[in-house]
Structure 1
Amino acid sequence: MTNDRQAQFEALLDRDAIRAALVRLARGEDRRDAALIRSACWPDSVTDYGVFRGDFAAYLAWVVPGSPAITNTQHVLGQSHIELAGETARVETQVISYHRIDYGGGDEHDTCIGGRYLDHFERREGDWRLAARTMLYDWSQDWGAAADWSQGLMGMAFRAPHFAGRATGDWSERFFGGEA
């Protein structure tokens, strides 16, 4: 393999490792899974979501329990623009995040936010992880009262209760734990 091809191949592997860390972080936030989040972020990282800013310990203490009012989340990642520079990278990733918010008294709303993560990644001892994140918000929408889909969808009942997703205690925990 020529030096040029070798460099292209290494850049491809670096970008794939960065995208894998982004996915682990999004899943970790959705499932409130501290181990997944730790695997994607350096312990000295800093996160700034506008509504929260702090070091990694504060971020983990904020995001893992999450708000009891946010019963379900889903972060859908779009394209990532990745600029590699040796052992660092600047990354912009499109994100759409869904949140079901329980305002109490049976008043739940489905909300959606569109924006971009501006991330600094660092490779340390061969491992790419997030060193700093700033969230940019492009739009936000409250879709209003949430439909009760806990028992089924579009008038069709679920065969079992595990089909309805939620932030914690979700069927995916059993799936990835090898029980399903």
Structure 2
Amino acid sequence: MDADIEGLQALVQRDRIRDCIARLARGEDRRDPDLIRSAYWPDATTDYGVFAGSFDDYFAWVYPGADAITNTQHVLGQSVIEIDGDAARVETHVVSYHRVDMGAGERDTCIGGRYLDVLTRRDGLWRIAARTMLYDWYQDWGDAIDWSHGVMGLPFSAPHFAGRAVGDHSAAFFSAAR
């Protein structure tokens, strides 16, 4: 096979793997069950250090999400991807923000770490077969401020600018394209 064609095929596979990981981050942030399911194989396993289990256990843990976590945002960094046939090992850097209310008011927290994912390709689709989370740092930023009506002292011109885990403007944005 021509080296250029092999390189293009590898590039396409890496892009499909990155897309799978990004779909999962969006699914968790927006609490979208279909996106979460589309990123994992049903027989997958997860180990987050504070939680480990099957995909069904993970799904029950992350969806619809804890009432105490009102907002999250997972920002993905670089991924190192090693493909071996229909399997891939992937390390992806992540910074995740969480607004958490543990009963004493909302707090803003942030975690930096890396996902170690084993993805497998079945019927041409890449999905996560196993995930392990490594934690590199954690920061509690303290009491959360109310930014629902604006930021930095400036008011929003419409209520849809404030993001929410469920039902924010991005849901309408994506459904309008369908």
* TM-score category of the 2 structures, normalised to the smaller one: over 0.9
CA distance in 1, matches of 2:153, 2:13: 46
Unpaired segments ≥5 residues, structure 1: none
Other-structure match for 1:145: 143
Question: Percent identity over the alignment?
Answer: 65
Alignment of structure 1 residues 19-168 onto 2, 5 Å:
19-104=18-103, 107-168=105-166
Q: What is the Cα deviation at residue 124 of structure 1?
A: 0.5
Matched, 1:4 2:3: yes
Q: What is the Cα deviation at residue 83 of structure 1?
A: 0.3
CA distance in 1, matches of 2:175, 2:126: 25
The alignment covers a number of residue pairs equal to: 177
Deviations 1:49-101 (A, max 9, x none): 11111111111111111110100000000000000100000000000000001
What residue identity is the alignment partner of 2:51? F
The DSSP-based 3-state class of the residue aligned with 1:175 is helix
CA distance in 1, matches of 2:65, 2:114: 21
The DSSP-based 3-state class of the residue aligned with 1:121 is strand
Write out the 4+ residue segments of structure 1 that deviate beyond 4 Å after TM superposition.
none
What residue identity is the alignment partner of 2:149? Q
Q: Tell which deviates more after alignment, 153-162 or 74-83.
A: 153-162
Q: Tell which deviates more after alignment, 56-65 or 13-22.
A: 56-65
CA distance in 2, matches of 1:153, 1:7: 48
Q: What is the Cα deviation at residue 166 of structure 1?
A: 1.2
The DSSP-based 3-state class of the residue aligned with 2:95 is strand
CA distance in 2, matches of 1:4, 1:174: 43
Q: Tell which deviates more after alignment, 15-24 or 163-172.
A: 163-172
The DSSP-based 3-state class of the residue aligned with 1:67 is coil
Q: What is the Cα deviation at residue 103 of structure 1?
A: 2.9
What residue identity is the alignment partner of 2:124? G
Unpaired segments ≥5 residues, structure 2: none
Deviations 1:91-137 (A, max 9, x none): 000000000012335x2111000000000000001111110000000
